[in-house]
């Protein structure tokens, strides 16, 4: 694996391998000393052109736990505000010794352009580009689901397992969501069945070509007893820039598409409640659902570090079992 630009780039074997490596990373994090020497001497640059808390800090923590040096670049306050191009910024960072670039950008396709333009010659990881893809978010979601829903293997763990036969309902602002697109790609690759639920105004054109079923009725989808319900953040910042009303009011949205206490109560006991964050409590999810014992929202944040450790390991140090620093 040279780059990680899209969840669709991962086949079944590659996806399971990354999840298995994340499982190995988890075992190391129970130790008193959590740092591994695997990427000592390497430099990872977090190149963020959009605001981020969870993703940026997660990548930083992942790189540091693998003993890499980390450079955090934010567009605000940099030469980008003076008109510097993506090309010049990237080449400047490589000239300073970057061994991998983690990029978040408001323009869909920016990480792909960076990886394949010839401007730089280092691995590129997509940390979210426009409304296109967010592959490491999909990986951490799949890792979380696998821990809760996959049958234990011979060793009692989930190594080698996928999500075959599981049903995941993804609810909310599908139109603007790179998380939804990435999860549909990865979850179906891992054998899960995905149902997208949203108001008609928040369903993208061409969704019929996605490997997922589309519904406009949340209660009907929940009545099927899904294994997980993933709430998507209503991206009001993107809606305001588009200039138009996508639903009548926040109250109406919550009534039709929010995970209310009443909807939570009808879910099977094993169903997990997920959210990529940050949450709009009282809009896409109620406080009772967000804080319920079946919620994995905080766990997803913790798992994000493990998955991103696995991604950086595969990109910069080879696969498990090589001589270049094992994960165990």
94 and 38 within one domain:
yes
Q: Is residue 97 part of a domain?
A: yes
* The pLDDT of residue 30: 85
Is residue 283 located within the same domain as residue 306?
no
Phi first, then psi: give them for residue 136, nearest 5 degrees: -70, -25
* pTM attached to this predicted model: 0.92
Question: How far from 259 is each of 142, 200, 217, 234, CA to CA, in Å?
Answer: 21, 18, 12, 13
**How would residue 154 be classed by pLDDT, with cut points 50, 70 and 90?**
low
Residue 168's H or E segment, with its range, is: strand 167-171
Expressed in percent and rounded to 5, the helix, strand and coil fractions of the chain are 40, 15, 45
If asked whether residues 198 and 139 sit together in one domain, one would say yes
CA distance readout (Å), 198 to 18, 277, 279, 307: 30, 18, 17, 28
Query: Are 16 and 111 contained in the same domain?
Result: yes
Cβ atoms of 43 and 68 closer than 8 Å:
yes
Q: Say whether both 291 and 154 belong to one domain.
A: yes
pLDDT interval class at 244 (50, 70, 90): low
With a CB cutoff of 8 Å and minimum separation 6, the contacts of 170 are 180, 183, 184, 194, 195, 196, 197, 212, 230, 232
The pLDDT assigned to 243 comes to 45
Q: Which of 166, 159, 157, 200 is nearest to 186 (CA)?
A: 166
Q: What value does the mean pLDDT of the chain take?
A: 90
SS3 229: strand
- Dump pLDDT digits (tens) for 165-175: 999 999 999 99
239 lies in the same domain as 307: no
Pair (94, 183) in one structural domain: no
Does 55 have pLDDT greater than 80? Answer: yes
Same-domain status, 82 and 151: no
Model confidence at 246, in pLDDT bands (50, 70, 90)? confident
Give 262's contacts (C-beta < 8 A, 6+ positions apart): none
Q: Which residues carry a binding-site annotation?
A: 54-55, 82, 104, 134, 137, 178, 233, 277-278
Residue 28 placed within a domain: yes
Pair 189, 290 in one domain: yes
Q: Could you give the residue ranges of the DSSP H alpha helices within 106-177? A: 110-116, 135-149
In this structure, what DSSP letter does residue 203 have?
A: S
Residue 208 sits in the same domain as residue 295: yes
Q: What are phi and psi of 303, to 5 degrees?
A: -65, -25
Beta bridge partners of 106: none
- Relative to beta strand 193-197, strand 167-171 is parallel
User: Is residue 327 a part of any domain in this protein?
Assistant: no
Q: Is the pLDDT of residue 178 over 60?
A: yes
Instruction: Tell me, yes or no, whether 23 lies in a domain.
Output: yes
Q: Is 78 inside any structural domain?
A: yes
Residue 1 lies in a domain: no
**Once rounded to an integer, what is the mean pLDDT over residues 26-51?**
92
| 65-85 pLDDT, tens digit each | 999 999 998 776 555 555 678
* pLDDT tens-digit map of 102-117: 999 999 999 999 999 9
Position 245 in a domain: yes
Other Cβ atoms closer than 10 A to 65: 21
Domain annotation covers residue 180: yes
Same-domain pairing of 148 and 288: yes
Number of domains making up the chain:
2
Give the domain CATH number at 28. Answer: 3.40.50.1370
Binding site, annotated residues for L-aspartate: 82, 178, 233
Residues 197 and 74 in one domain: no
Q: Residue 240 — pLDDT band, cuts 50, 70, 90?
A: low
pLDDT band per the 50, 70, 90 thresholds, residue 242: very low
Whether the pLDDT of residue 219 is over 90: the answer is yes
Going by the annotation, the residues of the binding site for carbamoyl phosphate are: 54-55, 104, 134, 137, 277-278
Is the pLDDT at 181 greater than 80, yes or no?
yes
Query: Taking a C-beta distance cutoff of 8 angstroms, is the pair 284, 291 a contact?
Result: no
Higher pLDDT, 126 or 326: 126
Residue of higher predicted confidence among 158 and 189: 189
What is the span of the domain harbouring residue 156? 135-300
């Amino acid at each position: 694996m040279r780059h990680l630009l899209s969840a669709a780039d991962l086949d079944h074997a590659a996806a399971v391998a990354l999840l298995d490596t994340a499982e190995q990373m988890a075992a190391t994090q129970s130790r008193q000393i959590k740092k591994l020497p695997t990427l000592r001497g390497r430099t990872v640059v977090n190149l963020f052109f959009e605001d981020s808390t969870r993703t940026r800090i997660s990548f930083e923590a992942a790189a540091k736990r693998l003993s890499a040096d980390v450079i955090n670049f934010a567009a605000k306050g940099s030469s980008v505000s003076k008109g510097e191009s993506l090309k010049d910024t990237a080449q400047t960072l490589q000239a300073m010794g970057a061994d991998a670039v983690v990029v978040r950008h408001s323009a869909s396709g920016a990480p792909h352009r960076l990886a394949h333009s010839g401007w730089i010659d280092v691995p590129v990881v997509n940390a979210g580009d426009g409304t296109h893809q967010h592959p490491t978010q999909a990986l951490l979601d799949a890792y979380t689901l696998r821990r809760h829903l996959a049958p234990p293997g011979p060793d009692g763990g989930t190594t080698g397992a996928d999500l075959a036969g599981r049903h995941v309902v993804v609810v909310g602002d599908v139109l603007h969501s790179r998380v939804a697109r990435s999860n549909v790609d990865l979850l179906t690759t891992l054998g899960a069945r995905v149902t997208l639920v949203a108001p008609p105004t928040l369903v993208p054109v061409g969704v019929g070509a996605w490997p997922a079923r589309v519904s406009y009725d949340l209660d009907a989808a929940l009545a099927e007893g899904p294994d997980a319900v993933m709430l998507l953040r209503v991206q009001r910042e993107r809606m305001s820039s588009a200039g138009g009303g996508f639903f009548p009011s926040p109250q109406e949205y919550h009534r039709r598409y929010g995970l209310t206490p009443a909807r939570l109560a009808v879910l099977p006991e094993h169903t997990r409640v997920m959210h990529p964050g940050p949450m709009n409590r009282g809009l896409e999810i109620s406080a009772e659902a967000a804080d319920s014992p079946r919620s994995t929202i905080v766990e997803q944040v913790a798992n994000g570090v493990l998955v991103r450790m696995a991604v950086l390991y595969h990109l910069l140090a080879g696969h498990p079992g090589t001589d270049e620093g094992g994960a165990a």
